[in-house]
Amino acid sequence: MKWDSTPAKSRPSLADALASITPALVKTEAGRPDHRVLRRALYSWAYNKKAREQEPRKEWREALDWVKKQSISVTDLEDPLVLRKALHALSTTLDGKPAAARTARRKKVCFNQTLTYAAESKLFSTLNNPLDTLSWKPPRTSEEVDPESVANPRQVRELLRMVREQGRRGETLEAFFGCMYHAAMRPSEVKNLRVQQCHLPEKGWGTLTLRNGLVRVGKEWTDDGTAHDQRSRKWRAPNESRPVPIPPVFVQMLRKHITAHGTAKDGRVFQTLRGGVVQESGYGEVWAEARKKALSQADQESLLAKRPYDLRHAGISFWLSSGVDPAECARRAGHSLAVMFQIYAKVLAQSQGRANKRIEAALEEWGGSIEA
């Protein structure tokens, strides 16, 4: 499909979706190869343009020969019953269990894109995507932030202190995690933060001007053969920037970090001890250890700050609960206002009491409430 125009980060997802669906769209089960071998052959070779520059392994070739021979015609996908087989496959794991709701939705989106491309290529009897006529609801999933996962400022301070106390490795990550909380940055944005994007005055508020993120994809999926891919922010044009003000306490933390640890050769503020890109597995270990030391046993077993990403939720939730205009919160977080209300609905609901008191106080200033 549209490999060259598809971001490297999206290519594995598309391959995964198609590798889940293809084995279900066959004429017969007779002679079917091991399902894991077939899945791996489809994902790692058949649906990877770069991999196809080399010959596949012998066992993959045998599996691919079988699926090529037994696959149904593309035009058969106009049959609603066939489509339902594909949808069942993408919502089921290799072990036959229901897939996670978010996984099923992601794969359905990829499948829909594939069918749209097939329709545009005039492979169907009409130019319509056959999936548009099918009544099928993907598993429900909630995007809302659970307030139980949101740490308060005191808890965040203690967590960052426990990060810092884990030797040199922890010292290099304190400000890394601070970016997620104080600037509501996504991990990919933190990894790609350059010193040129940082305005860090000696006193007062500073600004981080965010642009692209740095995501780990795997060298087999990128055009240049590197493991990481620079990617523009979600739903934004390439190089579109997002200025995020940061408070004085965090300005000083970043200044201290840069002074103590310097920057990578390409200007990245955060790097491993060997100068590489900070990896999720590495900072995940440090965060897990910080939770053990900073939180009670009950909190450790809860959702509270379970993942480093929850720091972003905590930062945005703090802005909202502090009375910052949701539109400004959305702008700083890189969300649309609609997405902000959807994801932080429960957090916003907790602010209703404070809002009611403000309205009541304003009415009192004008001589009491308006009576019917």
Distance CA(258)–CA(112), nearest Å, equals: 46
Q: How confident is the model at residue 1, as a pLDDT?
A: 55
Which pLDDT belongs to residue 73?
94
Is-contact 162 154, C-beta < 8 A?
Answer: no
Does residue 371 carry a pLDDT above 60?
no
Using alpha carbons only, give the angle 15, 20, 25 rounded to the nearest 5 degrees.
115
Radius of gyration (C-alpha) of the chain in whole angstroms: 25
Residue 234 has pLDDT above 60, yes or no: no
- In tens, the pLDDT along 242-284 reads 999 999 999 999 999 999 999 999 999 999 988 899 999 999 9
Between 3 and 130, the more confident residue is 130
- Give the least confident one: 30-34, 104-108, 212-216, 295-299: 212-216
User: What pLDDT was estimated at residue 17?
Assistant: 93
CA distance 117 to 129: 9
Mean pLDDT of 326-330: 93
Residue 81 Cα distances to 77, 135, 156, 210, angstroms: 9, 11, 52, 47
On the question of pLDDT at 351 being above 80, the answer is: no
> 233 pLDDT band (50/70/90 cuts)?
low
232, pLDDT greater than 70: no
Asked if residue 202 has pLDDT above 90, the reply is yes
State pTM to two decimals. 0.80
With a pLDDT cut of 90, the percent of the chain lying above it is: 66
- Residue range 199-209: average pLDDT? 97
Residue 206: phi and psi, rounded to 5, are -115, -170
Q: In degrees, to the nearest 5, what angle opens at C-alpha 346 toward C-alphas 343 and 352? A: 125
pLDDT of 224: 77
Cβ neighbors of 185 (< 8 A, separation 6 or more) are 179, 193, 208, 210, 244, 312
* pLDDT at 67 (0 to 100): 95
Short-list 27, 20, 25, 70, CA closest to 47: 20
- pLDDT for the residue 278: 93
What DSSP line would sit under 7-60, residue for residue?
-TTTHHHHHHHHHHHGGGSBS--TTPPPHHHHHHHIIIIIT-TTGGGSPPPHHH
Helices 174-182 & 248-261, crossing angle to 10 degrees?
150
Which of 1-5, 77-81, 216-220, 363-367: highest mean pLDDT? 77-81
- Dist CA 243 CA 342 (whole Å): 23
pLDDT tops 90 at residue 236: no
Angle between helices 80-90 and 101-120 (to 10 degrees): 140
* C-alpha to C-alpha distances, 86 to 93, 113, 228, nearest whole angstrom: 13, 14, 32
Please say if the pLDDT value at position 341 is more than 60: yes
pLDDT the model gives residue 363: 84
Mean pLDDT of the region 135-161: 86
* pLDDT the model gives residue 238: 62
If you count DSSP H runs as helices and E runs as strands, how many of each does the chain have, helices first? 17, 5
Cα dihedral 251, 257, 259, 263 in deg (nearest 10)? -110
Sign of CA dihedral 271, 275, 277, 278: negative
User: Which is nearest to 69 in space by CA: 118, 24, 21, 28?
Assistant: 28
Measure the CA–CA gap between 344 and 142, rounded to whole angstroms. Answer: 11
**Taking 90 as the threshold, does the pLDDT of residue 119 lie above it?**
yes
Residue 155 scores a pLDDT above 70: yes
pLDDT-based confidence at 102, cuts 50/70/90? Answer: confident
